[in-house]
Amino acid sequence: MSLYIDIPEDKEQLPSLKTGQGKLAWMASVDHKQLGIMYLWLALVFFVIGGLEAMMIRAQLALPNNDLISPELYNQIFTMHGTTMIFLVLMPASIGLGTYLIPLMIGANEMAFPRLNAFSFWMTCLGGMLLYFSFFAGGAPDAGWFNYAPLSENNYSSTQGVDYFLVGLILTGIGSIGAALNFITTVLTLRSPDIKLNMLPLFVWMIFVNAFLMLAAFPLLNAGLFMMLIDRQFDAHFFLASTGGSAILWQHFFWAFGHPEVYIIALPAFGIISEVIPVFSRKPIYGYKFVAASSIAIALLSYSVWAHHMFTVGLSNTVNAFFAISSMLIGIPTGLKIINWIGTMHKGSIRLTTPMLWAMAFLICFTFGGLTGISFAIVPITWQLTDTYYLVAHFHYVFLGGSLFGLFAGIYYWFPKMSGRMLCSKLGKWHFWLFVLGFNLTFFLQHVLGVLGMPRRIFTYPDLPYWKVLNMLATLGAVMMFVGMAIFFWNIYKTLKKPRTVGENPWDAWTLEWATPSPPELKNFDEIPRVHSRRPLWDINNPDNPDKKLN
Amino acid sequence: MTNHYLLQATDVELIANLFNYFLIVAGIIFALVIFYTFFYLIRYGAKRRPETPSQVEGSERVELILAIIATTITAVFVYLTINTMEKVQDIPENPKPFLEITGHQWWWEAKYPESGVITANQIYIPTGKKILLKLTSADVVHSWWVPELGRKMDMIAGVNNYMWMYAEKEGEYLGTCSEFCGVQHARMRIRVTALNPKDFEAWQQKQLLPVVTSTDALFLEGKQLFEEKTCTNCHAINGTEFKQNIGPNLTHFASRKRFLADMKENNEANLRAWLTNPQAVKSGVKMPNFILSDSEIDALVAYINGLK
């Protein structure tokens, strides 16, 4: 039985950094590791851009009645900040880690569709570039990242920005759908014959479940985007009430995608945490079955919660009650996962490395974001606090405290595998503390601002009691995060200049990617170790105390 | 007497109570997560326990117990949510609104259907009375939110939404548009003035009086300019032939304390700056710069400030 699949073009070698075709690989490679790294670089570049936009927002809001930035520009900046961070940072970073690691973790040599893999990456990249081209074409989109009709329709737009938004996101959406197809097919067909589905590492499992979410969510978004594009280009009036359309219809389309999207961004981070915490606690994950099954519950429920973004549009109490219940239910599997992660640490032997630090920050900040999320399932609280800074604070706790901290844990954890070099842990700790403390300073206080009545998406605000000092402190926190990120980039730069010194398995981890050289060769595996449990390398390193055989 | 209190509680109090219950439960859960994370980090640190730990894979019993606890808490909050929701969003079959508010980019149009008063931005309500609001929009989606007086509700073109608003005490209540509505969303703020029923009635009666006319030359010149410069294409003034209702209704404009959706105090200097170049005061607004001469502005200010 062959332990790897032949890549169709294997005979005429594919261009890659490792085949001596040098820089061409950055254009033409279909190697999943090369593409995974390219996804991560793409995310990093856009993270810098989106981060600078965030700094502009914080500079403008540092003082009341500030006129540093015009309202027209401010609206473009916050729209681009949100769109960039969701579609061009958190998405490609999660997909990138998946693309790099899934074949390695299941004992495969490639993704199922290597060319589709490259196509997906380039679609995402092209979408991002088109989106940013809008700045040179008269103006960036300025109707917010959820682009509500009719503000986003022709009558209320003075630039082509929204058109670039629509076309750009349609392209990244196509890329995401391609990536999802690829993940599903790869996991279903290319696993080492030893690995049954219930033996998948949890990171692979989460990406697998996530791919089904993406496969169903992105077509919805793209349908909506196309309808709005037809509205804007050919006057179709799908979302214009004055001519028989419905502004609320757009909201349904967008959030039916938008809420699954939150989990699409969160599940990969859950997967990372489910790898990092066990390895550094020296114990298997607490309740593997529960963590795996609860992800399916989350995926299914996430399709029936979208209207909790719309509790103020005037839906009936019956409809509100349905979406309130489903939104609260989704908190149960998510909340219990946190207990599983903490349970994994119980009676462990915990090594507080940089990835583990990020995982701990994830546990606390994501819990906080999850809890404030529950408050938005409680309909009457939404009636007061939605679209205020309390909401802004909530979703930053989910997206940064959850997804981004998880991704940082993953990057520090797998960086030695990808580059053959260990990121400096001292600089890593500086990055960690500055970023985490700055993050909490900025966003914790914003909950208070929201309760005090400050709405989101305002380019300036009157000098009401406490608003000034809280906003100033929030800006200070943003500066701390900015410095932390500068240290992170310096760390990457410094580390990449050093020679490769890391062995196969620097963390003494358990999954198959750690059975390859760091970084892996173009062909991942010449031979794969036999796999009998969820932790093949544990079994090899602890022959006297192996895990229970599952096959 | 807790029950009695709850029966009497206003919408704002009901929601605040619910938020407090949530804070207590969420606070306890969060404290437990922080405690166990730090406790385990310290107690089970590798320095203290360098040996390989026992490879426990979890306990289904514990998972089940925790799932039951979580479901119970959820059930309690589902009950509280639905209960509060039905009290707050309790709109009669054929709603007869006391006040109709229409959101515009970026100002508020207000009509009192019972009395027939029409005004803009400066909104008065009587105290001690639950007021039914009808909300809609003339253009993009806006959202009405005065946190101390009630819930928020979106204003959507083609849709009539209803909500209750209640002021116990006299005073001024600040609010804001809370759905992003374009360039000047930040300056679409609300100021609601609650008056005791007697004063409110007096205010209404005053608003219903025909506009004062003056024989002052400058006033009349302003009136003529108001027509010639096409101000009348957008602005209505009740009791005159100016009836277009696109911009704010300017009847009794001089009686308003602030203008431009609570952005500026209504005084001569601000009005002058506004007429000189609206775009410099509030960029993006629908009122164009009419490039008026100083003497024209003098006349227009005299006219508009004469609309008492």
SS3 (DSSP) at A378: coil
Do B300 and B219 form a contact (C-beta atoms < 8 A)?
no
Q: What is the mean pLDDT of residues A17-37?
A: 79
What is the distance in angstroms between the Cα of A12 and the nearest Cα belonging to chain B? Answer: 47
Q: Is A73 on the interface with B (CB under 8 A)?
A: no
Q: What is the mean pLDDT of residues A6-27?
A: 60
CB contact under 8 A, B44 and A346: yes
Structural domain includes residue B33: yes
Residue A404 pLDDT > 70: yes
What distance in Å separates the CA atoms of residue A119 and residue B98, rounded to the nearest whole number? 59
> What is residue B2's predicted lDDT score, i.e. its pLDDT?
41
What distance in Å separates the CA atoms of residue A449 and residue A461, rounded to the nearest whole number? 12
SS3 (DSSP) at A350: strand
Q: Residues B154, B200: one domain?
A: yes
CB contact under 8 A, A380 and B56: no
| A window 79-138, beta carbon within 8 A of B | none
To the nearest 5 percent, what fractions of chain A are helix, strand and coil? 70, 0, 30
> What is residue B245's predicted lDDT score, i.e. its pLDDT?
85
Mutate to test the interface with B, among A63, A238, A387 (most CBs of B within 10 A): A387
The whole-angstrom distance between residue B56's C-alpha and the CA centroid of its chain comes to 55
CB contact under 8 A, B71 and A375: no
Q: How far is CA B193 from CA A228, A273, B109, B168, B169, in A?
A: 40, 52, 15, 12, 10
Number of domain units in chain B: 3
**Nearest C-alpha neighbor of B43 from the set A357, A436, A342:** A342
What distance in Å separates the CA atoms of residue B184 and residue B207, rounded to the nearest whole number? 28
Q: Residues B130, B229: one domain?
A: no
How is chain A split into domains, by residue range?
A: 32-541
What distance in Å separates the CA atoms of residue A90 and residue A74, rounded to the nearest whole number? 22
Q: Which residues pair with A350 in a beta bridge?
A: B45
Within 8 A by CB and 6+ apart from A250, the residues are: A147, A148, A149, A152, A224, A228, A238, A239
> What is residue A29's predicted lDDT score, i.e. its pLDDT?
87
* C-alpha radius of gyration, chain A, whole number: 23
| A window 27-56, beta carbon within 8 A of B | none
CATH of the domain at B106: 2.60.40.420
Widest CA span in chain B: 99
Structural domain includes residue B15: yes
Residue A14 pLDDT > 60: no
What distance in Å separates the CA atoms of residue A141 and residue A68, rounded to the nearest whole number? 20
pLDDT digits (tens, 9 = 90+) for A362-379: 999 999 999 999 999 999
CA B48, B51, B54, B57: dihedral to nearest 10 degrees?
80
Within 8 A by CB and 6+ apart from B207, the residues are: B117, B119, B251, B252, B255
List CB contacts (< 8 A) between A459 and chain B: 185-186
Q: Is A402 on the interface with B (CB under 8 A)?
A: no
The whole-angstrom distance between residue B267's C-alpha and the CA centroid of its chain comes to 24
Mutate to test the interface with A, among B25, B52, B78, B178 (most CBs of A within 10 A): B178
Do B101 and B118 form a contact (C-beta atoms < 8 A)?
no
pLDDT digits (tens, 9 = 90+) for A57-115: 999 999 999 999 999 999 999 999 999 999 999 999 999 999 999 999 999 999 999 99
DSSP A149: T
Q: Residues B183, B245: one domain?
A: no
Facing B185 at nearest CB: one of A150, A384, A458: A458
What is the distance in angstroms between the Cα of A202 and the nearest Cα belonging to chain B? Answer: 14
SS3 (DSSP) at A455: strand
Which residue, of B157, B186, B208, is where some domain finishes?
A: B208
Q: How far is CA B273 from CA A64, A538, B105, B250, B291, in A?
A: 21, 76, 20, 17, 12
Q: Residues B111, B183: one domain?
A: yes
Which residue, of B41, B59, B88, is where some domain finishes?
A: B88
CB contact under 8 A, B33 and A364: yes
What is the distance in angstroms between the Cα of A409 and the nearest Cα belonging to chain B? Answer: 16
> What is residue B151's predicted lDDT score, i.e. its pLDDT?
96
> What is residue A12's predicted lDDT score, i.e. its pLDDT?
54
Facing A384 at nearest CB: one of B26, B57, B151: B151
CB contact under 8 A, B18 and A378: yes
What distance in Å separates the CA atoms of residue A392 and residue A450, rounded to the nearest whole number? 8
pLDDT digits (tens, 9 = 90+) for A147-198: 999 999 998 998 999 999 999 999 999 999 999 999 999 999 999 999 999 9
Q: Which residues pair with B259 in a beta bridge?
A: B264
According to DSSP H, which parts of A283-404 are helical?
288-301, 317-345, 354-377, 379-385, 389-396
Q: What percent of chain A has pLDDT over 90?
A: 91
Q: Which residues pair with B176 in a beta bridge?
A: B189
Q: Residues B149, B103: one domain?
A: yes
Structural domain includes residue B150: yes
Domain containing B51 equals 2-88
Q: Residues B128, B164: one domain?
A: yes
Q: What percent of chain A has pLDDT over 70?
A: 96
pLDDT digits (tens, 9 = 90+) for B164-180: 999 999 999 999 999 99
pLDDT band at A4 (very low <50, low <70, confident <90, very high): low
What distance in Å separates the CA atoms of residue B288 and residue A127, rounded to the nearest whole number? 37
Task: Give every residue of chain B whose pLDDT is below 50, as ranges.
Answer: 1-6
SS3 letters for chain B? CHHHHHHHCCHHHHHHHHHHHHHHHHHHHHHHHHHHHHHHHHHCECCCCCCCCCCCCCCHHHHHHHHHHHHHHHHHHHHHHHHHHHHHCCCCCCCCCCEEEEEECCEEEEEECCCCEEEECEEEEECCCCEEEEEEECCCCEEEECCCCCCEEEECCCCCEEEEECCCCCEEEEEECCCCCCCCHHHCEEEEEEECHHHHHHHHHHHHCCCCCCCCHHHHHHHHHHHHCCHHHCCCCCCCCCCCCCCCCCCCHHHCCEECCCCEECCHHHHHHHHHCHHHHCCCCCCCCCCCCHHHHHHHHHHHHCCC
CB contact under 8 A, A332 and B18: no
CB contact under 8 A, B58 and A288: yes
Residue in A with minimal Cα distance to B22? A375
Q: Is A504 on the interface with B (CB under 8 A)?
A: no
List CB contacts (< 8 A) between A365 and chain B: none
Q: Residues B198, B244: one domain?
A: no
List CB contacts (< 8 A) between A338 and chain B: 33
Structural domain includes residue B266: yes
What is the distance in angstroms between the Cα of B199 and the nearest Cα belonging to chain A? Answer: 28
Residue in B with minimal Cα distance to A464? B174
Residue A342 pLDDT > 80: yes
Tokens of A329: 């239910």
Residue A9 pLDDT > 60: no
Structural domain includes residue B94: no
Please state which CATH number belongs to domain A32-541. Answer: 1.20.210.10
Q: Residues B176, B110: one domain?
A: yes
CB contact under 8 A, B78 and A456: no
What distance in Å separates the CA atoms of residue A264 and residue A333, rounded to the nearest whole number? 15
SS3 (DSSP) at A388: strand
What distance in Å separates the CA atoms of residue A82 and residue A80, rounded to the nearest whole number? 5
What distance in Å separates the CA atoms of residue A70 and residue A68, rounded to the nearest whole number? 7
Q: What percent of chain B has pLDDT over 90?
A: 86
| A window 266-285, beta carbon within 8 A of B | 281-285
> What is residue B1's predicted lDDT score, i.e. its pLDDT?
34
Facing A387 at nearest CB: one of B51, B77, B179: B179
Facing B154 at nearest CB: one of A156, A288, A313: A313
CB contact under 8 A, A317 and B86: yes
Q: Residues B117, B190: one domain?
A: yes
List CB contacts (< 8 A) between B78 and chain A: 324-325, 328
Residue A388 pLDDT > 70: yes
> What is residue B58's predicted lDDT score, i.e. its pLDDT?
87
Residue A15 pLDDT > 80: no
> In A70-172, where do the E strands start and end?
none
**Nearest C-alpha neighbor of A76 from the set A170, A167, A158:** A158
Structural domain includes residue B41: yes
- pTM of the predicted model as reported, rounded to 2 decimal places: 0.94
CB contact under 8 A, B41 and A350: yes
What is the distance in angstroms between the Cα of B189 and the nearest Cα belonging to chain A? Answer: 10
Within 8 A by CB and 6+ apart from A499, the residues are: A421
pLDDT band at A263 (very low <50, low <70, confident <90, very high): very high
Question: Looking at chain A, how many residues does it have?
Answer: 551
CB contact under 8 A, B60 and A338: no
> What is residue A8's predicted lDDT score, i.e. its pLDDT?
54
Lowest-confidence range among A311-320, A422-431, B46-55? B46-55
CB contact under 8 A, A345 and B37: yes
